[in-house]
Structure 1
């Protein structure tokens, strides 16, 4: 993720990052909280989700090499509408909203790097939205398997089924019938 930065920009960024270890089952953000920190994931898997009276709705998974945050809460400093929970022990680096903005004032290339990373996240969200509305359940399953096959071993299947908008029974049938 950071390979495109100069050595001086990496040094500047790393001087502001704080190492964080969050245990499996702990929450990073809860609904109603303002997310104060952006996390860069080194290891572990995290899940963004919300629950209503009927069921849990998985929004996203994050893992090594990705940013972890509720974007609208972090970037606009407003209360989150959903939660982020660690599905496994997670090692990350964090940077606060104010520190990140101070960093942007110091380095245009770091600001550009984070803008490009945010654009990539936005593109992924749009593609996911299109997949949910245009692909069959089998096509959604295959697309996910091609994009993130390691998550089948790391994430309970009921969460992947929710993420894909597939009934858990149908998910189980697909999982058992399609080679990954």
Structure 2
């Protein structure tokens, strides 16, 4: 296995230790490399998500349009799985955009191939279900924070969980993710050196 393949299998192994046969069967279909330049889209609203992606390198944001604004709902970095998930599971047009914030390398598995694996390898399906459950719990926790926490508390929780994003993601997107203005974020974190466009562009 390549280092990237080992990291991909490690995601599933956090839930169920896959056998060599299961791991090789899973990897056999992750054979579609994709390269995005900075600001290119992995998927746009209205497109149907046909694949699940693993981020080999780079960074991305997930957002959806709201009136005259964009609301950022998540980020992806090296070692993450990403797709427009509602579109992926329902096979319906996406409501979300996924955009590269730097040059980003990915590999992917087609939706049909991925779900077909579950028939032959139930433990892969079980590991995936457990990963879905973990993601759902994380979403519930985040929604609770958005509804009940102060801006300062939301910032502190993000810093505890994902301090690295302050080094790679432009401040305006972090502010959107935290449901606050960039000015509020600057007030809370005045010493932050903004992950501005020049820093991101250096990775392109």
Q: Deviations over 1:80-112 (max 9, x none)?
A: 111111112222220111011111111011111
Which of 7, 23, 30 is residue 17 of structure 1 equivalent to?
30
Structure 1 runs (4+) greater than 4 angstroms displaced: none
Aligned residues: 178
RMSD of aligned residue pairs (Cα, Å): 1.4
- Please point out which of 21, 36, 55 is paired with 1:8: 21
* C-alpha distance in structure 1 between counterparts of 2:36 and 2:130, whole Å: 27
Whole-angstrom CA distance in 1 between matches of 2:126 and 2:105: 25
Q: TM-score, normalised by structure 1?
A: 0.93
Of 160, 163, 179 in structure 1, the residue corresponding to residue 177 of structure 2 is 163
Which deviates more from structure 2 when the two are superposed, residues 45-54 or residues 2-11? Answer: 2-11
Return the alpha-carbon distance in structure 2 between the equivalents of residues 104 and 62 of structure 1: 25
- Check if 1:65 corresponds to 2:83: no
TM-score (norm 2): 0.83
Contact kept? 1:2, 1:10, Cα under 8 Å = no
2:84 counterpart of 1:84: no
Out of 36, 42, 60, the position equivalent to 2:56 is: 42
Q: Which residue of 1 aligns with 2:168?
A: 154
Question: 1:80-119 alignment to 2 at 5 Å?
Answer: 80-119=94-133
